[in-house]
Amino acid sequence: MCAAVSVLTTLGIVVVLLSQARGFFQEVSLVEFFTDTRWTPLFEQKHYGILPLVSGTMLVAAGSALVALPVGLCTAIYLSEYAAPRFREVVKPVLEILAGIPSVVYGFVAVVFISPIIREIFPSADVFNAASASLVVGVMILPMVISLSEDVLGSVPQALREASCALGASQFETIVRVVVPAALSGIVASFLLAVSRAIGETMAVTLAAGATPNLTLNPLESIQTMTAYIAQVSMGETEHGSTGYNSIFAVGISLFVITLLMNLLSQWVLSRMREKYE
C-alpha cells in the first residue's frame, strides 16, 4: 500500500524525465549532447553540448571536496580518537547546526562575504566565480563527511587499537597505520556521498557560481552547473514544450544518473566493509 509510493516516486522520476527528455533527443542527437563543447540553448545560435555544464559541476564538486575532505577527515579523527567525551558532546551538536543551515543561506554567504574576498586577492576573478561556490559547498558537505567518517572510525573494534598499542605502536602510529586503514572503505563511502551531495546542490551554486556555461578549469571564472541551469530555465519564461524547456529534463536525467551511480557505489563500498568486521 503506502510503501508503493516510494517505488512509484522512483518510477515517476524515471518516466517523467525520460518522456520529456525524449522530446529533447528527437531534436538534438545524443552525439551532439555528449560531444559538443558549447551549451547555448537560450541564444540565437543554439548548441546543446552538455560538457560545459558537466565540467562546471565537476569543478565545483572537486573544489568543495578539496575543502571538505581533509578538514572533515581530520575533525572526524580528532573527535573519534583524541577528544575527551565531554568535548565531543559539546562539539557534535554545534556541527549539527552547520548541517541544518539551508543551502540558500550558504549561497548568500558566498555572494556577500566570500566573493569580495576572492576578488580582493585575485583581482582578475569574475563577480560570480566557481571558487566562492566551491568554498561554501565545501562547508556545506563538511558535517556529512565528519559524521559519517566518525561513525566508521568509531566502529573499528577497540581490540585492534589495543593490539597495536600492545605491540609498541604510539597512538599516532595506531591511528595512521591501523584505525584509518581499517575504516578506509567507510571513509571512502562517506566521501562519495558527500561529493554526490555537492553535485546535486542547487541554490548556493545558482547564486554564487554564475550563469555562463563555460568549459574551463579555472575556478576564478564564472561557470554554470547542471543544477543551476535547471533552476535558471525553470525560473524564466521558457515556453512549455520547446526544446529549451525539454532540455532541463535531459540535464535532469544526466544529473539523476550521475548521483545515483555515486550513491550506489558508496553503498557497495560500505557493504564490503561491513562483511569484514562482523
Partner 1 sequence: MSEQSAVRRQRRKRLAARSFEWLCLTATFLCIIVLAALLSGIIYRGAGWLSIEFLTNGPSRFPDQSGVKAALIGSVWLIGLTALISVPLGTGAAIYLEEYARPGILRQFIQTNVSNLAGVPSIVYGILGLGLFVRTLAIGDTVLAGALTMSLLILPVVIVAAQEALRAVPDSIRHASLALGATRWQTIQHQVLPAALPGISTGTILALSRALGEAAPLIAVGALAFVSRYPLGPMDKYTVLPIQIFNWTGKPQHDFQNVAAAGIIVLLGVLLCMNALAVFIRYRYGKQIRW
Alpha carbons 136 and 209: distance in angstroms, whole number:
11
* Region 189-228 residues binding partner 1, contact defined as CB under 8 A: 193, 196-197, 199-203, 206-207, 227
Instruction: For the chain, report the end-to-end CA distance as a whole number of angstroms.
Output: 34
Sole binder of partner 1 in the list 41, 49, 63, 107 (CB under 8 A): 107
Whole-angstrom distance, CA of residue 118 vs CA of residue 277: 46
Burial 59-88 (b: 16+ CB within 10 A, else e): bbbebbbebbbeebbebbbebbbebeeeee
What would the x/- binding string for partner 1 be over residues 26 to 55, using CB under 8 A?
------------------------------
Q: Residue 28 CB, nearest distance to partner 1 (Å)?
A: 17
Asked if 273 interacts with partner 1 (CB under 8 A), we say no
Which DSSP helix (H) or strand (E) runs through 101? none
Q: Contact 233/246 with Cβ under 8 angstroms?
A: no
Cβ-contact 168, 256 below 8 angstroms: no
Instruction: Give the whole-angstrom CA distance, residue 71 versus residue 68.
Output: 5
Distance CA 127, CA 107 (A): 14
Please work out the total of residues on this chain that contact partner 1, with binding judged by CB under 8 A.
77
Contacts to partner 1 from residues 112-151, by CB under 8 A: 112-113, 139, 142, 146
**70 lies in the binding site for partner 1 (CB under 8 A):** yes
**Is residue 16 within the footprint of partner 1 (CB under 8 A)?**
yes
Rounded Cα–Cα distance for residues 23 and 12 (Å): 17
Contact with partner 1 (CB under 8 A): which of 34, 234, 242, 274?
234
List the one residue from 34, 102, 162, 184 that touches partner 1 (CB under 8 A).
102
Give the interface segment with partner 1, choosing from 35-43, 182-190, 212-220, 250-258 (CB under 8 A).
250-258
Can residue 84 be called a binding residue for partner 1 (CB under 8 A)?
no
30 versus 235: smaller Cβ distance to partner 1:
235
Residue 48 gets which letter from DSSP? B
85-100 and 130-154 helices, crossing angle to 10°:
140
> In the bound complex, what is the minimum distance in angstroms from residue 45's beta carbon to partner 1?
25
Choice from 153, 194, 255, 273 touching partner 1 (CB under 8 A): 255
Q: Give the binding range for partner 1 (CB under 8 A) out of 33-41, 45-53, 92-100, 115-123.
A: 92-100
Smallest CA-to-CA distance from 23 within 198, 234, 241 is with 241
Binding residue (CB under 8 A) for partner 1 from 26, 29, 35, 170: 170
CB closer to partner 1, 217 vs 241: 241
Residue 181 near partner 1 by CB under 8 A: no
Min separation Cβ 64 and partner 1, Å: 13
